[in-house]
């Protein structure tokens, strides 16, 4: 096991399972001694405080023991985007639809596991939690600052989601809690304090821990051929529209929980500014001014009525799946 200390922000972190167990026992009288510990983690960065974020059950500084690491068959779509980028890079020709490594973390190779966690609950007991653990394949991508940037990006998507949900509530004249909403699963950066499974991560690595426990991941906006779900499609449109063409969402995926769409690990592309006129209209000559406009048109091939509530000038289509909003409001129905 790795027992060497690491230093972050001038603080030395103890890197061994016994130290983590002892720390957890300070708040728990019933931490099992015989759990098959795989990793010891400490949360170091958890900025997601938007009302559109799902609740984060841990705070920075808390430590957990990972007792189970498994591949979840229903989570295979999480890595589809890096596969698409890898094939594009290997081809090295033609249009570059997928954001390359120099443009975004979109295609950064990483591995995903469903993990079971044990943590002190602060009341003398132990909490058991499920989560998504993402570890970059390249060692240089396990750097704290890179992982923090990814978490900040996901947090920015949650802030957009809050603005979108507020807009939709106003448009339909309902309280936000009473209508379907876009939510974003809370993600945090965590240090690996110790590991007996170097194939997953080593002591000193930084990884992303996302509190998401759905059995299956569904693509809502990815390649343009997904089943049309109006709320995530409208959210995709809303971000580009409200940012003035400066930011574009990519790979909206997750699960439907109750009436809400919970997104996991969304990507926010920050490219060159697009003119609003370019965002709203297809180029009649077929020459698209930048990759983000091409991506927007391919990934969002048509608008539903909800898009018209904030962008009435773009084309719409009546062929869509109902979004769950009141159908007599002129926004949720066609």
Say yes or no to pLDDT of 200 above 80: yes
∠ Cα 118 119 125 (to 5°)? 105
Say yes or no to pLDDT of 197 above 50: yes
> In this predicted structure, what is the pLDDT of residue 103?
87
> In this predicted structure, what is the pLDDT of residue 31?
41
Output 262 or 13, whichever has higher pLDDT: 262
Say yes or no to pLDDT of 192 above 90: yes
Determine contact, residues 41/192, Cβ cutoff 8 Å.
yes
Global model pTM greater than 0.85: no
Output 158 or 287, whichever has higher pLDDT: 158
> In this predicted structure, what is the pLDDT of residue 190?
98
14-23, 140-149, 315-324: which is most confident: 140-149
Task: For residue 238, name the pLDDT band (cuts at 50, 70, 90).
Answer: very high
Output 29 or 185, whichever has higher pLDDT: 185
Say yes or no to pLDDT of 319 above 80: no
Residue-averaged pLDDT of the chain: 83
| Spatial separation of the C-alpha atoms in residues 58 and 311, rounded to whole Å | 39
Say yes or no to pLDDT of 278 above 50: no
> In this predicted structure, what is the pLDDT of residue 315?
57
Tell me if residue 254 falls in helix, strand or coil.
Answer: strand
> 104: number of CA atoms within 13 Å, CB side?
26
> In this predicted structure, what is the pLDDT of residue 313?
78
> In this predicted structure, what is the pLDDT of residue 35?
55
Mean pLDDT of the 173-182 span: 93
Tokens of 66: 């990972």
| Spatial separation of the C-alpha atoms in residues 334 and 251, rounded to whole Å | 26
> In this predicted structure, what is the pLDDT of residue 50?
96
> In this predicted structure, what is the pLDDT of residue 240?
95
Task: For residue 264, name the pLDDT band (cuts at 50, 70, 90).
Answer: very high
Say yes or no to pLDDT of 51 above 70: yes
Beta strand 187-195 with 110-120: parallel, antiparallel or unpaired?
Answer: unpaired
pLDDT in tens, 93-107: 666 789 988 889 998
Tokens of 34: 């015989």
CA-nearest of 94, 97, 256, 291 to 182 is: 256
| Spatial separation of the C-alpha atoms in residues 222 and 81, rounded to whole Å | 8
Mean pLDDT of the 234-254 span: 96
Range with lowest mean pLDDT among 234-243, 274-283, 291-300: 274-283
CA-nearest of 40, 33, 9 to 117 is: 40
pLDDT in tens, 105-126: 998 999 999 999 999 888 888 9
> In this predicted structure, what is the pLDDT of residue 122?
84
**Residue 36 buriedness (CB in 10 A; 0-12 / 13-18 / 19+):** exposed
Q: How far is CA 234 from CA 191, 272, 281, in A?
A: 36, 22, 16
- Residues 126-154, buried b or exposed e (16+ Cβ, 10 A)? beeeebbbbbbeeeebbebebbbebbebb
> In this predicted structure, what is the pLDDT of residue 95?
65
Determine contact, residues 216/240, Cβ cutoff 8 Å.
no
Positive or negative: CA dihedral 126, 130, 132, 134: positive
Q: Would you kindly state where each structural domain of the chain is located, as residue ranges?
A: 13-22+30-308
Tell me how long the chain is: 334
- Residues 168-178, buried b or exposed e (16+ Cβ, 10 A)? bbebbeeeeee
Say yes or no to pLDDT of 2 above 70: no
Say yes or no to pLDDT of 280 above 60: no
> In this predicted structure, what is the pLDDT of residue 76?
97
CA-nearest of 271, 306, 232 to 279 is: 271
């Amino acid at each position: 096991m790795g027992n060497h200390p690491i230093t972050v922000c001038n603080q030395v972190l103890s890197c061994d399972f016994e130290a983590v167990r002892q720390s957890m026992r300070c708040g728990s009288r019933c931490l099992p001694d015989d759990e098959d510990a795989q990793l010891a983690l400490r949360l170091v960065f958890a900025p997601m405080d938007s009302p559109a974020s799902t609740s984060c059950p841990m705070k920075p500084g808390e430590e957990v023991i990972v007792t189970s690491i498994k591949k979840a068959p229903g989570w295979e779509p999480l890595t589809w985007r890096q596969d698409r980028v890898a094939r594009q890079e290997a081809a090295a020709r033609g249009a570059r639809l997928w954001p390359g490594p120099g443009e975004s973390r979109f295609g950064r190779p990483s591995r995903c596991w469903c993990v079971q966690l044990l943590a002190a609950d602060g009341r003398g007991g132990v909490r058991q939690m499920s989560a998504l653990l993402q570890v970059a394949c390249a060692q240089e991508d396990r750097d704290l600052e890179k992982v923090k940037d990814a978490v900040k990006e996901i947090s920015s998507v949650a802030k957009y989601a809050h603005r979108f949900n507020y807009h939709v509530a106003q448009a339909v004249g309902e309280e936000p809690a009473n209508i379907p909403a876009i939510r974003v699963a809370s993600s945090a950066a965590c240090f690996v304090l110790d590991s007996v499974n170097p194939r997953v991560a080593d002591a000193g690595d930084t990884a992303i821990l996302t509190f998401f426990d759905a059995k299956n991941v569904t693509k809502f906006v990815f390649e343009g051929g997904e089943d049309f779900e109006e709320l995530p499609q409208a959210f995709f449109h809303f971000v580009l529209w409200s940012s003035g063409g400066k930011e574009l969402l990519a790979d909206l995926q997750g699960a439907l929980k109750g009436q809400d769409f919970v997104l996991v690990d969304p990507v926010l592309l920050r490219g060159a500014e697009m003119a609003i006129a370019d965002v709203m209209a297809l180029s009649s000559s077929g020459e698209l001014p930048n990759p983000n406009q091409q991506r927007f048109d391919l990934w969002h091939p048509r608008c539903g009525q909800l898009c018209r509530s904030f962008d009435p000038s773009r084309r719409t289509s009546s062929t869509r799946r109902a979004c769950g909003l009141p159908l007599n409001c002129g926004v949720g129905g066609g």
